[in-house]
Amino acid sequence: MPENPLNDQKPVDFDSVESRRSSASMRRMTPARRLYYFLGLPLLRLINWTLLKTYRLQPVIGAEHAEALLQSKAVSAPCYWHQHHVVCSAYMRSWLRRGYKLCFLISGSVDGDVPERIARSWGAEVIRGSANQSGALALRDQQRMLKSGYSIVTTADGPRGPKYEFKSGTLLMARIAGVPIVPIVIQNSGDVQPKGDILYHPGTVEVEVLPPVDTSEWSADTIDKHVSDVRAMYLRVLEQDPGSKKRPAVVLTDVSARGARE
C-alpha cells in the first residue's frame, strides 16, 4: 500500500506566531529583517516618546470609570480606535503601572514583532493574531487570558480599517467572557493628525473613558445591533454622528463585582 504523504508533514504549532502569519504575504522574519527590527526598536521608542511630548494632555474625562476598574482589578475589555493608538497605548501603560493586568492583541504579521516587544517591556502580555488570519485562535487565547485575570486591549477598527468602522471581534470576545467593554476616546484627534495627513502635529488632546458597557445579556443574534450601538457611542463623543451630539445612554455594569466568567 502506498504511503500517505500527509503522514510526513510536521504537526502545526498553533501557539507559534508563524502559524498566524498571512499565507498571502511573502514577508517573513528573516535574519536581515530581525536585525532591522532590533536596530529600529530604540528609534521607534524615541519617536513615540517625542510624539507624546508634543501633546498637551488634559485631565482624563471620565476618570472615575477607570478608577473603579483600577481599584477593583475587575477584568474588562478596553477598546479604542486604531488611529488613537499612540496616545491610548501610553494611557494604558499608566494602568499597568497601577498593577492592572493588561494583554494587547497585536497582529501576527512581522510588523507586529516590534510592538510586541514594546508591550512586553511595559509588563503587559501579548496575543498575536487578527480576525482576518487567525480569528478562532486569537479568540481562544483571549478567553484564556480573560479567565487568568487579564483585560484584553483591542483597537475597534483594526490596523486595516476601514477607519471608524467597528469590527465585531472585540464585542464577541467580551460577550463570550461576560466582561464589560470600556470605550476610550481621544478628543481633538483631528488637531494632532489632520484628515489625510500621515504626520502627527503638536496639539492638545483629551482622553475620555466612557462608562463601561455591560455585555452579560447580549446574544449572538443581536451582536450586529450592539456593534452599531457601541460605534455610535464613539462617534457621538467625537461629534461625528449627525443624528445627535448628546452622549448616548449606556447600560452600566458593576465593574467592582463583575469579572470574566469561569
150 has pLDDT over 90: yes
Residue 164 confidence (pLDDT): 80
Does residue 150 lie within any of the structural domains? Answer: yes
Does residue 170 lie within any of the structural domains? Answer: yes
In order of 163, 175, 187, 191, the CA distances from 201 in angstroms are 19, 37, 14, 7
- Residue 234: all three cell numbers together: 464613539
3-state secondary structure of 122: helix
Q: How many domains does the chain have?
A: 1
pLDDT tier for residue 95 given thresholds of 50, 70 and 90: very high
Summarize the confidence of residues 105-123 as an average pLDDT. 85
**Least confident span in 3-17, 18-32, 139-153, 176-190:** 3-17
Does residue 210 lie within any of the structural domains? Answer: yes
CATH code assigned at 191? 3.40.50
- Residue 4: all three cell numbers together: 500517505
Does residue 211 lie within any of the structural domains? Answer: yes
Q: Has this prediction a pTM greater than 0.75?
A: no
Does residue 20 lie within any of the structural domains? Answer: no
Does residue 168 lie within any of the structural domains? Answer: yes
Summarize the confidence of residues 15-38 as an average pLDDT. 59
pLDDT, the chain, mean: 76
Does residue 8 lie within any of the structural domains? Answer: no
pLDDT tier for residue 236 given thresholds of 50, 70 and 90: confident
In order of 10, 50, 75, 121, 213, the CA distances from 174 in angstroms are 34, 34, 10, 26, 10
- Per-residue pLDDT of 152-207, as tens digits, reads 999 988 777 778 888 888 888 899 899 999 999 988 766 666 655 555 667 777 89
21 has pLDDT over 70: no
β-strands 203-209, 181-187 pairing:
antiparallel
Summarize the confidence of residues 91-120 as an average pLDDT. 89
Does residue 17 lie within any of the structural domains? Answer: no
Residue 181 confidence (pLDDT): 95
- Between 79 and 45, where is the model more confident? 79
Note down the domain range covering 103. 65-237
